[in-house]
Amino acid sequence: MDIWAPKLHPAAWTVMSLLCVYSHEVTVRGSDLKLCDEDQRVCVTDLRDCGPRPPASIQKTLDMSCCYQMSQRSMTCEWSRESNSHTEPDVSLLFSSGDKIFSCQGIFNPLAVLSVTARIKNYMMGTDTWSRPHTVVLYDAVKPSQPVLAVLNSTEDSVVVSWRSSGDGDCRLRYRVDNTHIWSQAPDSVRAHRYQTLTYTIKDLLTFTVYRAAVACREESGIWSDWSSDVSARTLDRVPSRPPEVCYRVEKTDSGGSFLLHLMWKDLDLRDAGGRILGYQVSYEPVKKLRDRFIQNFTEVTALLVVAAAEGNFSVTVAAFNTAGYGPAARLSVDTQRPNALPPVRHLWVSSSFPALRGLQVQWENPTAPSSVPPVTHLAVQWRSETRPSSSGWTTVDNATTSTVIPDVDPDESYLISVIPVYNQQCGSPQSLPASLQQGALMEAVQLKVVGVTKTTVTMAWAWQRRAGPIRVNRYSVRLREDSERRTLSLWPDQKTEHTFLDLNPDTEYSLLLLADEVSRSIIPVRTHFDEVPAVAAATPLLLLAVSVFIISILSRTLYKSYFFPHISSPRGSTTGQWLMEPNHQKTAEINILDMEDFQVTDVLGEKSLITVGPKPRPSSEEDLNEDTSLLLMSRLSKLSALELDPEYISDAPVITERTLVSLQSYHADYGVNCRHPDEVFLPEESRDVALLHEASSCFPQKEEEHRKVDLSETSYQKETAVKCPFLELMANSHCVYQMTCEAEYVANSSFVGETDV
């Protein structure tokens, strides 16, 4: 037994005042029935129905109709019933006969007359309903056999089918587009005769579309047969009836010898074109060379062609085609010598109106073109599925419109949406943005950072990336915030990813916020640099005052020392003083030859005299000693201190240490300084040489044996005036004090000078 119910009535779940109308259809075969033991004239589908029935007063009358299917030996009953319950009831059928039934297997035969009762149990509502018996004469309720449908032919908008009838009556057809569940009924029925082959033409169909069709017939009994098995048929293509809407854009290449020709057109659908579109044929040829024609097919709605700049104007045609042929062509006249430059739209954004309108809200700002660029006549909004490029759409809006809604988009699909400004047949650069119905624009601003800070400016940067999260954002912005100041910048994917806030306060703490629909995504503290100009201006007078005071103090100190503390020369800094202070005198192989001219000094009388150093005889009396000392003080002995004495001649000198002071008087050698007036002595040249040699020997001490070799008799030739200065004492202490006693002796040769004179 097939009980499958509740089958929807063609009215399909009509709801009025919470009351539902159900259509039940139950098919029972002989093998599904069981004979009741208490009453052998009743066959039931459920043995629990074999008991006594309720009184007729509480039984319900059902609008029931039953038919007999001879080939399957089964009976199908159908009825409609109102109910306020949405649960499926349990339905069983009882078949009773006026005669005794020996077997329920043969109860369904053309000669039988049966009474049918339905029992409906609703366990949810706790109800049990019995219907009044419905009498069925099986011969009159025979259901016609199922017809067989076939497809004969198809055209652009129709399908021809045929079938064979089993008896007199009429037939009806139904059809639907493949992959849909809504059937369409043929407007008229077909009169049928027994064993007649019938044909029918289903009209007003879509081109190049697959349809499914079925047929059912009824005979004199008025019972309809089952629907035939579905057959499929495809309508043919129709030549496109409209040309596409085409615009072009010329772009210069880097080489300069060619141009890029961008073509864009609106895809024609079945309703606009009148047929299926397989692709578009693009042909272009130079105006001057009509025979040089180039043809290329495209399945997309855009084309990129490389054309030579030297060929000037071009004639371009775009035509849609399918298996039926080519439709009307759109014609363009392109001048590569005058490429247009329509600016793109700005600040494109897409927001989702899901689930209210199930559409995408596209908004933008119209471009502001200079006077040399033609004005925009309208704008084209194009959308294309990212996973199915063939699924696309196109709409146009006037030049004053800044938003539009794309309706009926797939919630599970993402689209690439483009807005293109158009002037007649020229189009500007498209501005595109990916979006979906669930998430809106699939771009988000991230990675906000500070890239530069000065005293009055803050430069920030950010990045755009494709968003994969489920959050829908209608606006991104950046806000620079301070206690008494706020500056907000809206972010758009088509603008630069860097911005500088100007005219800020120096040395001030700011907060940089990245906002998504006024909700903070990130916060960055930033501080402007310190302004050193006021500080320098305030510190400059103090610095100048300090420098002035320093210079005046230095000058005052120098002048004070010059006037009140004059500089006193220290013997320690002289060469002779340093030599005398040296404890160890090393002999050297260097021999210094004395220049006699250095020993010539001007005496008191203004005459040149030669200073000689030699052994001094002891004074004969205290009077002579005082006389020699007076003469020595009057001579210029300062030149003697500047002489550089060879260490070879002072090897016998005592070693003077830092802590021991030795007087030269302790030695027997006594030296003197002799001054003579060479102008008063007239000697021969040989005698002069001997005298000079003797004088050199007397000025520098030699070894004793060498000193003895000097012939003292040669001094008889020296008729001169001499000044003898013995060194009485040479003291080396911390003050470098030298004491010297000079004895002056005047000797006059009686043969030359009569008396001694100073």
Give pLDDT tens digits for 450-508.
999 999 999 999 999 998 777 788 889 999 998 888 999 999 999 889 999 999 989 89
pLDDT score at 569: 67
> Interior CA angle at 94 toward 88 and 100, to 5°?
170
Residue 624 — very low, low, confident or very high, per pLDDT cuts 50/70/90?
very low
Q: Is 225 exposed, middle or buried (0-12, 13-18, 19+ CB in 10 A)?
A: buried
pLDDT score at 620: 46
pLDDT score at 403: 92
- Is the CA virtual torsion 467, 472, 478, 481 positive or negative? negative
What is the pairing mode between strands 127-130 and 150-154? unpaired
pTM for the predicted model, two decimal places = 0.50
At 626-638, the pLDDT tens digits run: 444 444 434 443 3
Within 8 A by CB and 6+ apart from 322, the residues are 208, 237, 238, 239, 240, 275, 276, 277, 278
What is the rounded CA–CA span in Å between residue 114 and residue 42? 10
pLDDT score at 380: 92
Q: What is the DSSP letter of 714?
A: G
Q: 588: which 2 tokens?
A: 């050297």
Residue 357 — very low, low, confident or very high, per pLDDT cuts 50/70/90?
low
pLDDT score at 753: 36
Residue 15 — very low, low, confident or very high, per pLDDT cuts 50/70/90?
very low
Residue 246 has φ and ψ, to the nearest 5°, of: -120, 140
The pLDDT of residue 518 is above 50: yes
Cis check for the bond before 355: say yes or no (omega within 30 of 0): yes
Using a CB cutoff of 8 Å and minimum separation of 24, what contacts does 586-594 make? 586/647, 587/647, 587/648, 587/651, 588/647, 588/648, 590/646, 591/646, 591/648, 592/644, 592/645, 592/646, 594/643, 594/696, 594/699
What is the rounded CA–CA span in Å between residue 617 and residue 698? 12
At 398-407, the pLDDT tens digits run: 988 999 999 8
Average pLDDT over the chain reads 74
Q: Is 175 exposed, middle or buried (0-12, 13-18, 19+ CB in 10 A)?
A: buried
What is the rounded CA–CA span in Å between residue 583 and residue 667? 19
Adjacency order of strands within the sheet including 608-615? 600-602, 608-615, 671-676
At 228-271, the pLDDT tens digits run: 999 999 999 888 888 998 999 888 877 767 888 889 998 887 67
Residue 698 — very low, low, confident or very high, per pLDDT cuts 50/70/90?
very low
Q: Is 614 exposed, middle or buried (0-12, 13-18, 19+ CB in 10 A)?
A: buried
Residue 567 — very low, low, confident or very high, per pLDDT cuts 50/70/90?
low
Q: 547: which 2 tokens?
A: 């420098």
Within 8 A by CB and 6+ apart from 170, the residues are 189, 190, 191, 192, 217, 218
Q: Are 172 and 185 in contact (CB under 8 A)?
A: yes
Average the pLDDT over 587-608 and give the result: 52
Q: 123: which 2 tokens?
A: 């366990």
What is the rounded CA–CA span in Å between residue 654 and residue 247? 122
Residue reference for tokens 């864009």: 264
What is the rounded CA–CA span in Å between residue 698 and residue 714? 13
pLDDT score at 7: 43
Please indicate whether residue 396 or residue 585 has the higher confidence score (pLDDT). 396
What is the rounded CA–CA span in Å between residue 318 and residue 284? 9
What is the rounded CA–CA span in Å between residue 232 and residue 238? 19
Q: What is the DSSP letter of 131?
A: B
